[in-house]
Structure 1
């Protein structure tokens, strides 16, 4: 991937280093953008206030100030905690985000790992690893509130992974491939009733799957109205109650980096990813290795804005309402969407 983009020959260690730096940039830049635009500014405007304004122009350096604050705090491990697992949990959560980004294409040659055929299967598989990190954090803290939060989070993640997977199946059926780059190409080269000026973004034909996917993402992220695992009024921030300093910062980064990762996956599956309709430009051009990430970032911002608008608008579900929505509403609708997609695929 790196050599075709740069137009130079690189040694293996040089290419590995550039891949690692690229992954870090892909993880941290959207996460930082989400924090500033949505957490600091959008919610402030929704509540008729300015938000942070002191650190940098319009508060643009506030995130760096927050990071500096957490790095200076003491890293405390509770006396009765399982120290090894307690320290491991936040790194496990953050590493899940890195694994998800590995298979997301950002341009014609901008895939960070081999462009393999089971890309979407891989993404959905590794995204579930975060449940282990959350459960470890809750159990190893030796705190009853943390344990309850970890158990709630694990039950919630398991319940909403199934609707997420079923929502993606409709896209796989329509595209005829699980390759992430293939799904992007199918949307860019497709047409709607013979008109190819817009391609065929699955946002239109898979609108049911798109809605289910975003609801499941909201639950996977533990964001309102699905924030039962960290309900402040009940569990004192749940599974992260005992964390401080750098490890608390990792959970904070992991939350917004995960939002960016799921937004990237949603943009790839339902909005054409890094590509524009093939009628607009030659998508094999090397220029799209530069334009593709910018196009993808714009689509991620749209989806991220929707995710955080819901977070700051709706009240919290009760635990029984949360589970009932997944098992009695979302799963039957997603199965109906698969059936409808299959019929239309065969018929047309």
Structure 2
């Protein structure tokens, strides 16, 4: 077979397999998890009725499948609902907005390494659609385009509440994209690479970034890895919380805040166009979770020196260790999706001023200082004790100055005198 044709076929198989058979099914599964998990937290039953209506065929009891058919019922319901388009909207942009919300989330999956390579018929196949050397930059550049869909939805609806939701989303996403970018700089400094596949391979050999307890050698001493754990953990906190804001998840779902904006930017939408906004939100949650485990928890790596044995697994002459790594990756991914859901149903919604203050006054400065801290830790083995001490003192002084400026610039809270004292 022609090598070019073979490459095209393998790429198409990876796109169909990883995107449409692995990730997209996680969207309705995440909805089911959301319903079940929230029911457990609120001490209620959750979805348990939707199933096969066997009573229609004369049997005594329906088969409910423990509510597992609920996502399918949701899809059928949204597909069959009336697709109503208000007369006052700007129709071209109104129809385009849901597509611009879903598409970026799916495109960013192209650079996520889902597993180590597999070998079939002598052909080595990477379990990543595109093995780019600028993976994180590609994800941030494409994911940032989803704000256009939300902004267009609010503007094209030609209604006040959706427009406010769109403006909120624009400000929120721009603010937290800065924090996202700054927070992963320490990770990229530590590995010296922008290729996500190589970063995961490094973690499989020398310990996950937040669990660095194996693969110690002269180039990767345990002391340095444990010392770098401090800036790595700070990066993890900032990055994870910023992902919540980027995906409009609670407690940062201000663009669709029903208590103030009815439904936010998608108030005027119905049927499948309405469903596509939620597909985009859940797909973005899946991509965000995948990026977190790729950068901080080893991605497809099973850890604890097991990856070498897994990679060597062979069935009928084909190396299938990558498929086992794919299952490991999906297990971690589902665990983080459940974490997203847990946070949504336990943490109350922020006020909008609190949201923006967290991004600009706290996370931006913390991420910036963390870059210098990470650089100092990485360079420490090559510096003298005096230089290290001077760097530490400068970092402390910088932190104190930032905190002082933040406190001085904050407006004092005004006393609420009520209506009686206004006259």
TM-score with structure 1 setting the length: 0.91
Deviation, 1:205, is 6.0
Deviation, 1:101, is 0.5
**Bigger radius of gyration:** 2
Q: Which residue of 1 aligns with 2:345?
A: 312
User: What is the root-mean-square deviation of aligned Cα atoms in Å?
Assistant: 2.4
1:272 counterpart = 2:294? no
1:233 counterpart = 2:259? yes
| CA distance 1:122–1:311, change in 2 (3 Å) | same
The C-alpha deviation readout for 1:80-131, integer Å capped at 9, x for no partner, is 2111111111111111111110000012234443312111111111111111
| CA distance 1:296–1:205, change in 2 (3 Å) | farther
1:251 counterpart = 2:269? no
| Structure 1: runs of 5+ lacking an equivalent | none
CA contact (8 A) 1:137 1:239 kept: yes
Deviation, 1:310, is 1.3
Q: Which residue of 2 aligns with 1:20?
A: 15
Aligned length: 340
Q: Which residue of 2 aligns with 1:160?
A: 176
CA contact (8 A) 2:11 2:129 kept: no
Aligned with residue 48 of structure 1, among 28, 38, 43: 43
Q: Aligned partners of 1:272 and 1:223: how far apart in 2?
A: 24
CA contact (8 A) 1:30 1:297 kept: no
Partner-residue secondary structure (3-state), 1:196: coil
Partner-residue secondary structure (3-state), 1:206: helix
1:206 counterpart = 2:219? no
CA contact (8 A) 1:203 1:270 kept: no
CA contact (8 A) 1:222 1:228 kept: yes
CA contact (8 A) 1:31 1:259 kept: no
1:342 counterpart = 2:358? no
TM superposition outliers: structure 1 runs of 4+ over 4 Å: 8-13, 191-194, 199-205
**Bigger mean CA offset, 19-28 vs 99-108:** 19-28
Q: Aligned partners of 2:369 and 2:73: how far apart in 1?
A: 48
Q: Aligned partners of 1:284 and 1:274: how far apart in 2?
A: 11
Q: Aligned partners of 1:150 and 1:266: how far apart in 2?
A: 26
Q: Which residue of 2 aligns with 1:100?
A: 108
Q: Aligned partners of 1:224 and 1:278: how far apart in 2?
A: 34
CA contact (8 A) 1:102 1:111 kept: no
Q: Which residue of 2 aligns with 1:287?
A: 320
